[in-house]
């Protein structure tokens, strides 16, 4: 199956079109997780790995039957060095056991040879010492298109070969993104040109039926641009970013769904997994809190989709 087919199928089975974002911040994790990790560890690095791995295992268990995917922000793992990257492997394994799609959020890109190495690391099976095997083995990787379109071709080639997917930055959620992404040399905003290329790349490298395996990252903080981007990418799955801590709105989220109310997931990270109410208590309390927040977000999205277009279905499919 292509990534687009897996994305669509997993979303159809999920209760809510929510993507659980995992951005490890060890010192902000619940005390019960940190204390247990330290007690079982052989040193600082081992404690960091155990803390991240266990917290994410708990978070995933809280929502595995509700959501289709997790998005792992690589920078938050990389900041902890080898301990963090080993914990990344642990988190990917936990997500796979739970049946969730894994999106590695690294916004990678470079010239062709380096782009291929990035793609091999997260989507392919790099060869070494006469053997080939997966390194991080994510289902999809976020990529930056602003080095030019030829830089995305190696990612598309590796993704096609291994049945994986891409999510291309189209319009990001940060406030100053408009300075570049909404600039309009020649009369058309740059983000719209990128959106059209995302659609074309999907058609070129992947089957033309159903959802494409080349999707987009779109911020809900700019609802009008989000709607324009969606219409330019009718087959592309979208990961909606910016909701929650970045103050994106539900109308902005709704703009990223297609006319049937499908084809997108809303990512939420800090708003689901961190906060003072999870500082104390048991692991069961943490599970309850994360699940409750996810359900609240999911119900809000479903209500907003229904209000925007009564004929839409409130889940992704």
pLDDT confidence tier of residue 186, bands split at 50, 70 and 90: confident
Map residue 43 onto helix, strand or coil: coil
Asked whether residue 91 is assigned to any structural domain, the reply reads yes
Is residue 277, in this structure, part of any structural domain at all? yes
The average pLDDT across 51-55 equals: 98
Q: How many domains does the chain have?
A: 1
Structure token pair of residue 58: 């708990």
CATH of residue 49: 3.20.20.70
**Residue 315 belongs to a domain:** no
pLDDT at 246: 77
- On whether residue 93 sits in a domain, the answer given is yes
Is residue 82 exposed (0-12), middle (13-18) or buried (19+ Cβ within 10 Å)? exposed
Q: Stretch 294-313: mean pLDDT, rounded?
A: 84
Q: How far apart are CA 189 and CA 167, in angstroms?
A: 19
What integer is the mean pLDDT of 38-58?
A: 97
For residue 146, give its domain range. 3-308
Does residue 310 surpass a pLDDT of 70? no
CA dist., res. 283 & res. 271, Å (int): 18
Residue 314: inside a domain, yes or no? no
pLDDT value for 313: 42
Q: Which residues are catalytic?
A: 107
Residue found by looking up tokens 């897996």 in the block: 6
How much is the average pLDDT of 204-218? 88
pLDDT in tens, 251-274: 999 999 999 999 999 999 999 999
Answer yes or no: is 110 within a domain: yes
How is 266-298 classified by DSSP, letter by letter?
EEESHHHH-SGGGSSS-HHHHHHHHHHHHHHHH
pLDDT at 314: 39
State the chain's mean pLDDT as an integer: 93
pLDDT tens digits for range 111-121: 989 999 999 99
68: in domain: yes
Question: Is 317 among the domain residues?
Answer: no
């Amino acid at each position: 199956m292509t990534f687009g087919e897996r994305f669509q199928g997993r979303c159809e089975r999920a209760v809510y079109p929510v993507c659980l974002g995992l951005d490890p911040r060890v010192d902000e994790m619940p005390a019960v997780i940190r204390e247990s990790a330290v007690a079982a560890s052989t040193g600082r690095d081992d404690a960091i790995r155990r803390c991240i791995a266990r917290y994410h295992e708990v978070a995933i268990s809280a929502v595995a039957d509700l959501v289709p995917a997790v998005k792992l922000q690589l920078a938050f793992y990389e900041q902890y060095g080898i301990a963090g990257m080993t914990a990344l492997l642990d988190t990917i394994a936990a997500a796979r056991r739970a049946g969730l799609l894994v999106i590695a959020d690294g916004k990678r890109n470079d010239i062709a040879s380096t782009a291929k190495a990035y793609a091999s690391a997260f989507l392919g099976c790099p060869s070494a010492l006469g053997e080939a095997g997966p390194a991080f083995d994510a289902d999809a990787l976020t990529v930056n298109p602003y080095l030019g379109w030829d830089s995305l071709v190696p990612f598309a080639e590796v993704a096609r070969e291994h049945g994986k997917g891409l999510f291309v930055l189209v319009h990001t959620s940060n406030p100053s993104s408009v300075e570049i992404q909404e600039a309009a040399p020649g009369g058309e905003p740059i983000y719209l040109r990128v959106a059209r290329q995302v659609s074309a790349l999907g058609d070129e490298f992947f089957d033309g039926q159903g959802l494409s395996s080349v999707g987009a990252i779109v911020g809900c903080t700019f609802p009008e641009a989000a709607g324009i981007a969606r219409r330019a990418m009718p087959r592309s799955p979208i990961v909606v970013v910016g909701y929650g801590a970045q103050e994106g709105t539900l109308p902005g989220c709704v703009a990223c769904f297609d006319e049937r109310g499908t084809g997108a997931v809303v990512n939420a990270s800090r708003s689901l997994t961190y906060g003072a109410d999870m500082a104390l208590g048991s692991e069961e309390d943490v599970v309850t809190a994360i699940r409750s927040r996810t359900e609240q977000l999911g119900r809000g999205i479903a209500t907003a989709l229904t209000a925007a277009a009564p004929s839409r279905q409130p889940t992704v499919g």
